[in-house]
Homo-oligomer: A and B are copies of this chain.
Amino acid sequence: MDERVREHASVLVDWSTQIESGDDVVLSVGPDAHELAVAVAEKLGERGANLLATYDSNELQRAYLRAHDGEFEGSAEHELALYEEADVVLSIGGQRNTAAKADVPGETRQAYRKANAAMREAKYDTRWMSTVHPTRSLAQQAGMAYEEYQDFAYDAILRDWKSLAEEMSRMKDLLDDGSEVRVVKDGTDLTMRIDGRTAVNSAASVTYDSHNLPSGEVFTAPYATAGTVLFDVPMTINGEAVRDVRLEFEDGEVVSHEASQGEGVLTDILETDAGARRLGELGIGMNRGIDRFTNSILFDEKMGDTIHLAVGRAYDACLPEGETGNDSAVHVDMITDMSEDSWLEVDGEVVQRNGRFRWEAGFEG
């Protein structure tokens, strides 16, 4: 076994989910994630945690969803009971074909997601964490050779997370103290309110309310969005290529949308429910271990010198205690490159220009 697989498992179990003896762990395993799952199982045994492995196959889901009449009756009781009793849900993605659900009708997907809201809530109440095992399908999606992709993925995953968390706390402080964010570049001039919201220092650990590995972003839950934004980074959403999404916002809501490719997928998402037309997240990518776009949102959105916005659900961690943010069955991230001819303002002050933060050498305010 590649030693990096064991290191990945160590980060997941110790830094990310902080698993201890007696923890009830659900380990969700993609069909091509077997090797990492074995390494995690070993760590869970060492810690004396309890292990139940679930099988996360998009081919199974496709077969099930396509055969179903679409009348879903809410979360299944057995699945709900599993997540309600779980302490940790650790998802290791790894599909053989990232497009395996491409022919599932959008309305069936949406109906299934909507029906499973209670199950998702129960999962989000655990110390949940999502990662991927570097697979050949992800390498292909990135347009990279397999071993090249492994090097890329482990550079992003096996970072000095403690040190990155310290750097990211600077950005969190700026957002926590600020009231309005403005993003400006060619095709984009967007303002969002962030006062009253708390930014998350997403350092790939549940202690930071961070639930992705790799992570390396600071995010918050904006509102009252106005203006226009162009997402110029290529994406794959629900297995389909989506390019050059342009959204126009008025009073916090998307009032027009277009894309040069995959506009149908975008329309399906925006029509899921009312919350799907409002922003749930503004994220600022700060993981410079990620040095290129690989057509995978988990990596792309964390890349240094990018920002992303998500339509749909907001994370509770960004909201004042007891307050409900934007609610939706979806949460779909879209990315824009901030490395050139672009800047980010907080309350009228430039905090990032052309990919340099204000605390970095070479920053021009």
Counted per complex, copies of this chain come to 2
User: Which residues of A in the span 37-71 have a Cβ within 8 Å of any Cβ on B?
Assistant: 37-39, 41-46, 48, 50-57, 59-61, 63-69, 71
* Contact of A52 with B82 at beta-carbon distance under 8 Å, contacts A41-B64, A45-B63, A45-B68 already known: yes
Interface of A is mostly: helix
Interface size on A, residues (CB 8 A): 49
Tell me if A84 is interfacial: C-beta within 8 Å of chain B: yes
Q: Are A67 and B54 interface neighbours, CB within 8 A?
A: no
Kindly state the separation between the CA atoms of A55 and B43 in the bound complex, as whole angstroms.
17
Tell me if A86 is interfacial: C-beta within 8 Å of chain B: yes
Tell me if A79 is interfacial: C-beta within 8 Å of chain B: yes
Q: A52-B54, A81-B84 are in contact. List 13 more A-B contacts (CB 8 A).
A: A27-B55, A37-B55, A37-B57, A38-B59, A41-B64, A44-B67, A45-B63, A45-B66, A45-B68, A50-B79, A77-B85, A78-B86, A81-B81
Tell me if A24 is interfacial: C-beta within 8 Å of chain B: yes
Tell me if A34 is interfacial: C-beta within 8 Å of chain B: yes
Q: Are B71 and A48 interface neighbours, CB within 8 A?
A: yes
Q: Are B50 and A76 interface neighbours, CB within 8 A?
A: yes
Kindly state the separation between the CA atoms of A79 and B86 in the bound complex, as whole angstroms.
9
- With a cutoff of 8 Å between Cβ atoms, the chain B residues found around residue A82 in the complex are 52, 78-79, 81-82
